[in-house]
Structure 1
Amino acid sequence: MAGWELGLRLRERRELLDVTAVSAGRAIGTSQSYISGVENGKLKINARKLAELAAVLEFDEAETEELQALREEAGKRAWWSPYSAMFSAEVLRYFGFEAGAESIRAYSAGMITSLLQTEDYAMAIMNGGAPSIRLAEASRRVEVRMKRQQRLDGDDPVHLTTVITESGLRQMVGGRTVMAAQLRHLARKITEHPDTIDVRVVPFSADYHNAIGGSTFYLLGFASSRLPDLVWQETVSTTDLIDQPMRVREYSLAHSQALDFALDRAASLDLVEEIAKELG
């Protein structure tokens, strides 16, 4: 998060001054690719190079101190660091964005949203979706998913608004027992977090909307006005972090439309509890 904000501020100032990445890199003895990597939050920059770049981009002393503070924050060890060998750089970046998000709007196609899954449900997905994954690795991946869910609690919980299709409530992931426990867990989360967790179910009776047939996606919003919304999209074989404003807007509209076709909060909870009772 801090590295991303640092990069955004550097890029915004560079573009405002009409300085190319090539020129900025040459001025501090580095390359265009290095400047681009720092601006994209993918490469770290040391204090000396940052001070030199800040001078080139005409940041004043107070602004430079803010940039250095962001650099130091970005260098701290994150909770997901011990798991870094298991995930791509893009997924690790998403963990950072999710950890720093103020709000998450999710659309889950045919499954329960990952932030609301039980361990058994998540394990069933790991085992069924990727049979080549060893049990030890699957367990570690589930452990990561449970750690991600810590953002739902604590003193500064993320605000989660998730749209789930009725098919996601009825698909027997892991079998009847696992699914019944998952739905009871979901109902409990809805009840215990009325101010920060809003689960809406799109019933089978709903008409067509743009998210139907689409992939699972998450819209992340941030407290800082400097940070734009982001989209994280998951398909069967790929994941994608999207920051282009027009594409983010399309996902935002699709989520809003799905909400329009979903049951209200109370009716959604009723349906979750009803299906849970059917399963015993």
Structure 2
Amino acid sequence: MAPSSPTVAAWELGRRLREKRDEAGLSATAAARKFGITAAYLSEFENGKKNVGEERLATLVEAYELDEQEAAELFRLRNEAGNRGWWSEYSALFSDELLRFFGYEHGAESVRSYDSAIVNGLLQTENYARAVIEAGAPNIRLAEVERRLECRMRRQHRVTGSEPLHLSSVMSEAVLHQRIGGTDVLAEQLEHLVALVNAHPDTLDIRVVPFESTGHDAIGGSPFLLMTFPTGKLPTLLWHETVTSTQLITDSLTIREHSLAHTEASKAALNRKDSLDKIASASRSLRG
């Protein structure tokens, strides 16, 4: 079971209100005019980027002729969306898009990731994560590095905490050899991966695509992850990273393509035992 997330609640509330608007036969422009709000405000709360006010929600519930049970569900979501997630403490460091990602990740039930060069952030040691952060932003102050590191470590509670998500991480063998932070830091990181899988066998799966693999759909691509949620009313969400941008994507075709790519990468990967053996072997070679 995933913990409560105001970001996920706001997204579900917005999607359900948009569905009701569509059922009422109202365009966004017509609805904005009817309810005396701007189209931009309507778009923001229908896309989960802004919480809707209580009086406004009451107006929408009446206009869309919702029954008592559904109205109660929407007001519960509105109240939940009004809470502050722990990630809001880092609003001065990260973009709104990245903060929303933290909120979605916190409320996710499962995550499928593909990584081509760096260990997934949910699985990084402090030393490895610090090296990644410093390499990605070489001119930031030490205090900011430590705050970013603190945030990354807090995200990892979803893997090791009392309400763990199901994480399926597929990574290129290149991840095992890219010496982020140096030999000792990488060796510690690889040992940490083995220990994590052994400690959380029911919720964590790490697979390595060996160099001997002849190829798969995700090869040469940038990292991505796919999140699913406990409620049946939300679709899979894609988080995609490149050198210059990060994106939250809801387009169903794009998500389907990445889901297939993850499946094909999983097929090209070693099985669970052989993946752990390869990680352990890479670590031993670093230790000498």
Q: TM-score, normalised by structure 2?
A: 0.95
The answer to whether the Cα contact below 8 Å between 1:24 and 1:53 also exists between their aligned partners in 2 is: no
Q: Say which of 120, 143, 159 aligns to 1:113.
A: 120
The equivalent of 2:259 in structure 1 is: 252
Partner residue, 1:178: 185
Q: Map 1:118-157 to 2 at 5 A.
A: 118-157=125-164
Q: Is the 8 A contact 1:17 1:57 kept in 2?
A: yes
* Percentage of identical aligned residues: 49
- Give the distance between the partners of 1:50 and 1:153, measured in 2 at CA: 37
Local SS of the residue matching 1:220: strand
Partner AA of 2:104 in structure 1: F
Q: What is the 5 A alignment of 1:20-169?
A: 20-169=27-176
**1:51 Cα deviation after fit:** 0.5
CA distance, structure 1, for counterparts of residue 122 and residue 81 of structure 2: 24
Deviation at 1:277, TM superposition (A): 0.8
- For 2:200, which of 186, 193, 196 is the aligned residue? 193
Q: Runs of at least 4 residues of structure 1 off by over 6 A?
A: none
Q: What do residues 56-109 of structure 1 show as CA deviations (whole Å, max 9, x unaligned)? A: 122122211111110000011111111011111111111111011000000011
1:268 aligns with 2:275: yes
The alignment yields a C-alpha RMSD, in angstroms, of: 0.9
2:260 partner letter: L
**Contact conserved, 1:24 with 1:56, CA < 8 A, in 2?**
no
1: distance between equivalents of 2:88 and 2:39?
28
Provide the secondary structure at the position in 1 that maps to 2:176.
helix
Residue 4 (structure 2) aligns with: none
Query: What is the CA–CA distance in structure 2 between the aligned matches of 1:129 and 1:167, rounded to whole Å?
Result: 18
Aligned partner letter, 2:99 = L
Contact 1:165 1:202 in 2 (8 A): yes
Query: Is contact 1:27–1:56 with CA below 8 Å preserved after alignment?
Result: no
| 8 A contact 1:217–1:234 mirrored in 2 | yes
In the comparison of the two structures, how many residue pairs are matched? Answer: 280
Letter in 2 for 1:25: A
Residues 254 and 150 of structure 1: CA distance in aligned 2, closer, same or farther (over 3 Å): same
Structure 2 counterpart of 1:224, one-letter code = T
Tell whether 2:203 aligns with 1:215: no
For the residue of structure 2 that corresponds to 1:73, the secondary structure is helix
Is contact 1:4-1:41 (8 Å) kept? yes
Deviation at 1:219, TM superposition (A): 0.3
Q: Which residue of 1 aligns with 2:13?
A: 6
Unpaired runs of 5+ in structure 1? Answer: none
Cα displacement (A) at 1:153: 2.4
In structure 2, C-alpha distance between the alignment counterparts of 1:243 and 1:16, rounded to whole Å: 21
**Distance in 2 of aligned mates of 1:262 and 1:251:** 16
2: distance between equivalents of 1:134 and 1:247?
Answer: 37
Paired amino acid for 1:119: E
The alpha-carbon deviation at position 142 of structure 1 amounts to 1.0
2: distance between equivalents of 1:181 and 1:52? 56
Does the 8 Å contact 1:170/1:275 carry over to 2?
yes
SS at match of 1:86: coil
Distance in 1 (CA, whole Å) between partners of 2:64 and 2:250 is 24
Cα deviation for residue 139 of structure 1 reads 1.1
Is the 1:157–1:196 Cα contact (8 Å) retained in structure 2?
Answer: yes
Once the two structures are superposed, residues 157-195 of structure 1 have per-residue CA deviations (whole angstroms, 9 ceiling, x without a partner) of: 100000011110111100001011001111100111110
Q: Residue type matched to 1:107 in 2?
A: Y
Question: How many Å apart are 1:236 and its aligned residue?
Answer: 1.1
2:38, 2:88 → 1: CA distance?
28
Amino acid at match of 2:164: P
TM-score relative to the length of structure 1: 0.98
